[in-house]
């Protein structure tokens, strides 16, 4: 490791800290939740963009930031944009890939999610951690290398997409129409190298029977890849119903259930804790808590109770044991299976499942089993997508080099790994994820984090999403050195 060069990089980032944070605040003010164009959205497709006006605005803003820093930019029809040197040859380019779209806001924020605020060393706002912080960081990485006059064998270019959280149709379009770099690195996970990603199945259980007229509304969750922190039903008013619900709540000691009488009905709301669906351990699924309360409720008819019993059964654990798709391997660990979005289509209840399956699992068999399980419980399975696992050769010299370099810098003995989260690496050739998360917190970091964030907040996909700026800058300094040294290896 070139520690003399690392000291120069450290000094450069220290001199550009305030500027970088302001650029990050600027891009984080754009509420860029992907919303694909449909014929009934009220705008023509060109004006709307492929993923909505907010994502279009975010991409334009990001490219403008790139130009202000002296880089060439390209807009690939608002699916993807890029920032870098010009001209550049993709056959000789190391590409950095980040996304500008964010997950829906959800509940439980203590501030405006799209007005980022710096508090006690953290920047708080939707997307600052996932993934706008690393995206802005890569602009500064390239600027640092340029201004320090470091000779590079490869061109460097940042690519930013607008549909990563929803399904990666941005990358599907890009790879079908444009060239990809020689090697791609995705800064959207933890250190060291993530060389593999589990497959992702998404779809819905759709109940065969309609709910009764007693159930006016059933809703929970806001995105497929988030454990829901709120779920509720709206029940038709009846004499004595409110008292009956309150009595059952007290009798069963359901503290996570709230009951309110409204003009159009009685609302029963369950609270949980939000978390990324790829890492659900320790979270509380609000759909499960609601269904657990309703599955044997005396104020519902038998048909409705059966439907909520099925929902409770389908959300009580996170590893696919109930439907019979549990599977694990040594390479990637356990399959996860989370019920994340509860909706009604007309009078029919649906439950979205977000499944991250092990690399060696047979997804066709899993999908068949999900269909059989649904049929056994008066429902059917509706497949939305099956995104196959991603794998970058573990033997590639970049894997061992970057892992060893990180360990030398951090004083650790980590290993390259496979994860349940999905990044752009699964959609790109010659691609892997590397950082910038998973940095080692010191005691001061932990104390400040404890002061700012209550349980279930502060993380990616959580309320009050926060970026530890000390760790972010440490990661970006190391990342810059890692890219410079990797340039000579590949």
Question: Does one domain contain both 70 and 218?
Answer: no
Q: What angle (nearest 5°) sits at the alpha carbon of residue 91, between those of residues 90 and 97?
A: 45
pLDDT confidence bin for 19, thresholds 50/70/90: very high
Provide the residue range defining the domain that includes 296. 200-386
Supply the pLDDT for residue 321: 98
**pLDDT tens track for 231-244:** 999 999 999 999 99
Q: Whole-angstrom Cα distance, residue 83 to residue 159?
A: 7
Mean pLDDT of the chain: 96
Question: Does one domain contain both 205 and 298?
Answer: yes
Q: Which of 84-93, 176-185, 433-442, 463-472 has the lowest mean pLDDT?
A: 84-93
Q: Whole-angstrom Cα distance, residue 242 to residue 359?
A: 49
Question: Does one domain contain both 343 and 401?
Answer: no
Question: Does one domain contain both 337 and 475?
Answer: no
Q: Which of 386, 417, 432 is a domain's end point?
A: 386
- pLDDT at position 229 over 90: yes
Q: What is the CATH number of the domain that holds 24?
A: 3.40.630.10
Q: Percent of the chain scored above 90 by pLDDT?
A: 95
Classify strands 117-119 and 93-99 as parallel, antiparallel or unpaired. unpaired
Question: Does one domain contain both 205 and 287?
Answer: yes
Give the 3-state secondary structure of 390-428. EECCCCCHHHHHHHHHHHHHHCCCCCCEEECCCCHHHHC
Q: Which residue has the tokens 């754009």?
A: 30
Which two tokens mark 382?
């509706």
Q: Are residues 356 and 418 in contact, defined by beta-carbon separation less than 8 angstroms?
A: no
Handedness of CA 154, 157, 158, 163 (dihedral sign): negative
Question: Does one domain contain both 187 and 215?
Answer: no
Q: How many CB atoms are closer than 10 A to CB 213?
A: 10
Q: Which of 363, 386, 409 is a domain's end point?
A: 386
Question: Does one domain contain both 101 and 229?
Answer: no
Question: Does one domain contain both 262 and 374?
Answer: yes
Supply the pLDDT for residue 331: 87
Supply the pLDDT for residue 107: 87
Q: Which of 386, 411, 440 is a domain's end point?
A: 386
Question: Does one domain contain both 411 and 374?
Answer: no
Supply the pLDDT for residue 424: 97
pLDDT confidence bin for 456, thresholds 50/70/90: confident
**pLDDT tens track for 178-210:** 999 999 999 999 999 999 999 999 999 999 999
Half-sphere exposure of 443 (CA within 13 A, CB side): 0
DSSP string for 243-255: HHHHHHHHHHT-T
Question: Does one domain contain both 91 and 145?
Answer: yes
Q: Are residues 312 and 292 in contact, defined by beta-carbon separation less than 8 angstroms?
A: yes
Which two tokens mark 437?
């998360």
**How far, CA to CA in Å, does 483 sit from each of 6, 100, 414, 459, 489?**
12, 22, 19, 27, 10
Supply the pLDDT for residue 455: 87
Q: What is the CATH number of the domain that holds 261?
A: 3.30.70.360
- pLDDT at position 88 over 80: no
- State the total domains in the chain: 2
Residues in the chain: 490
Q: What proportions of the chain, in percent to the nearest 5, are helix, strand and coil?
A: 35, 25, 40
Q: Which long-range contacts (CB under 8 A, 24 or more apart) does 15-19 make?
A: 16/140, 16/143, 16/144, 17/473
Q: Percent of the chain scored above 70 by pLDDT?
A: 100
- pLDDT at position 290 over 80: yes
Rounded to 10 deg, the angle between the 53-68 and 17-28 helix axes is 160
Supply the pLDDT for residue 106: 86
Classify strands 390-391 and 193-197 as parallel, antiparallel or unpaired. antiparallel
- pLDDT at position 365 over 90: yes
Question: Does one domain contain both 179 and 111?
Answer: yes
Question: Does one domain contain both 119 and 206?
Answer: no
Say how far residue 128 (Cα) sits from the centre of its chain. Answer: 12
Mean pLDDT of 35-45: 93
**pLDDT tens track for 153-167:** 999 999 999 999 998
């Amino acid at each position: 490791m070139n520690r003399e060069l690392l000291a120069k990089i450290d000094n450069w980032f220290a001199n550009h800290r305030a500027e970088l944070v302001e650029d990050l605040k600027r891009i984080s003010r754009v509420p860029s939740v992907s919303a694909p164009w449909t014929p009934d959205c009220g705008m023509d497709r060109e004006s709307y963009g492929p993923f909505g006006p907010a994502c279009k605005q975010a991409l334009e803003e990001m490219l403008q930031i790139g130009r202000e820093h002296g880089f060439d930019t390209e807009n690939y029809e608002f699916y993807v944009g890029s920032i870098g040197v010009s001209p550049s040859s993709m056959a000789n380019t190391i590409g950095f890939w980040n996304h500008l779209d964010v997950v829906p806001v959800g509940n439980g924020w203590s501030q405006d999610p799209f007005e980022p605020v710096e508090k006690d060393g953290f920047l708080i706002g939707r997307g600052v951690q996932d993934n706008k912080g690393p995206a802005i960081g890569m602009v500064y990485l390239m600027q640092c290398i340029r201004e320090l006059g470091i000779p590079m064998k490869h061109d460097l270019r940042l690519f930013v997409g607008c549909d990563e959280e929803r399904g990666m149709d941005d990358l599907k379009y890009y790879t079908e129409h444009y060239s990809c770099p020689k090697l791609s690195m995705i800064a959207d996970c933890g250190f060291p190298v993530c060389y593999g990603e589990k497959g992702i199945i998404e779809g819905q259980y759709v109940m065969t029977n309609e709910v009764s007229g007693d159930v006016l509304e059933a809703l929970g969750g806001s995105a497929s890849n988030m454990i829901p922190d709120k779920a509720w039903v709206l029940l038709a008013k009846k004499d004595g119903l409110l008292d009956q619900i309150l009595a059952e709540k007290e009798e069963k000691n359901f503290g996570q259930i709230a009951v309110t009488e409204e003009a159009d009905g009685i609302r029963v709301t369950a609270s949980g804790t939000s978390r990324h669906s790829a890492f659900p351990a320790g979270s509380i699924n609000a759909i499960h808590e609601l269904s657990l309360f309703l599955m044997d409720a005396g104020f519902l008819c038998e048909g409705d109770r059966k439907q909520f019993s099925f929902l409770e059964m389908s959300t009580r654990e996170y590893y696919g044991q109930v439907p019979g798709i549990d599977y694990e391997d040594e390479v990637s660990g356990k399959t996860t299976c989370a019920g994340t979005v509860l909706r009604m289509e007309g009078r029919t209840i649906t439950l979205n499942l977000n499944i991250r399956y092990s690399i060696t699992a047979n997804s066709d068999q899993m999908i068949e089993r999900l269909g059989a399980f649904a049929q056994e419980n008066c429902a059917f399975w509706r497949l939305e997508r099956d995104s196959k696992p991603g794998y970058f050769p573990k033997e590639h010299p970049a894997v061992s080099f970057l892992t060893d370099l990180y360990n030398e810098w951090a004083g650790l003995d980590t290993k390259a790994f496979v994860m349940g989260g999905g990044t752009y690496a699964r959609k790109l050739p010659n691609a892997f994820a590397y950082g910038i998360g998973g940095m080692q917190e010191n005691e001061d970091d932990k104390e400040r984090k404890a002061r700012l964030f209550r349980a279930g907040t502060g993380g990616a996909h959580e309320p009050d999403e926060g970026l530890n700026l000390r760790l972010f800058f440490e990661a970006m300094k190391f990342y810059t050195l890692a890219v410079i040294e990797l340039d000579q290896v590949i």
